[in-house]
Structure 1
Amino acid sequence: MKDVRTRAEETTELSHDGDILSAENQDANHSQLYTPDIPPSDAEKIRLDEAATIAQAAFRGFMARRAFQALKGIIRLQALIRGHLVRRQAVATLCCVLGVVKLQAVARGRMVRNSEIGYEVHKICSLVKLPRASLHILVELVYKWPSCHQMLLFASFLLHHLL
């Protein structure tokens, strides 16, 4: 009769087997997470390695921030230098343009003096000996009149009234 078991006994044994298996699985999982077999010196080594990793990460972050700030400073300096060079180039260009304008004015004055109108104005001025202020007015009028004939008429009219 010992070999014959009741159904209730078999069910109880099976349920206890499951408990034993689940306890063994829990122990296996727990041993993967925490190994009590590691000697204290190895545990200390692991702790020191983790601390060193954290310290290295912090130091690398600090160095990266410092390099980024240096890069920002270099970029700012480049912008200042470029601005200075652009302003200096603009001043040089302006000086060149003013020189060209002055050269054009000299050439235009020479052309007017060498033209027929220039000779007529020079002849009139040398005969009458106009004061300097009148001469400047006459020279300005040469540039303002659209045609040479109108300017000569006005110059002769002006000279007759001044005499």
Structure 2
Amino acid sequence: MVYSTCSMNPVENEAVVAEVLRRCGESVELVDVSSELPQLVRRPGLKKWKVQDKNVWLASYKDVPTFRRAGINPSMFPSGKSYMDASDNSHEASCGKMPDICSNGNCEKRSELSEDPLVPTDVSEEEVTTLPLERCMRIVPHDQNTGAFFIAVFQKLSSLPGNSKNHFSY
């Protein structure tokens, strides 16, 4: 299967490929086709990227303000992790607020912790994926006077996980 876009946005490209690989497990592999069409100038897929929300660049899902988490998914980031664990859930249950808006156990409104409520108070390091996204191809216009293209080639190795009624919806 070939997945291709004319976008250079990693959320539309590498993040989609990464989510397919995560959901399909070892039943699908990303094929390295860099030896095909040797005259085609290409760049490898990205292993790290940031997500833009409004006027803020986010390096990790844990940087997403609580009030924006309905519109920004963990799968948009390289690791695809939500960073919610049992301690976060128990904290939320005890104080009624997400832990990223609390400071030293004293829960406050995000706007009281930062001048700009869109800027996370605890900015993390940029995520890097362990998936082989370098096997994807990025064709950029200025390398050889073409349009922009992103290409990923998948090969199905075995039955997909889950029952036959499960399917992806796009």
TM-score (ref. length: structure 2): 0.16
Greater percentage in helix? 1
Q: Which has the larger radius of gyration?
A: 1
TM-score if structure 1 supplies the norm length? Answer: 0.17
Higher strand share: 2
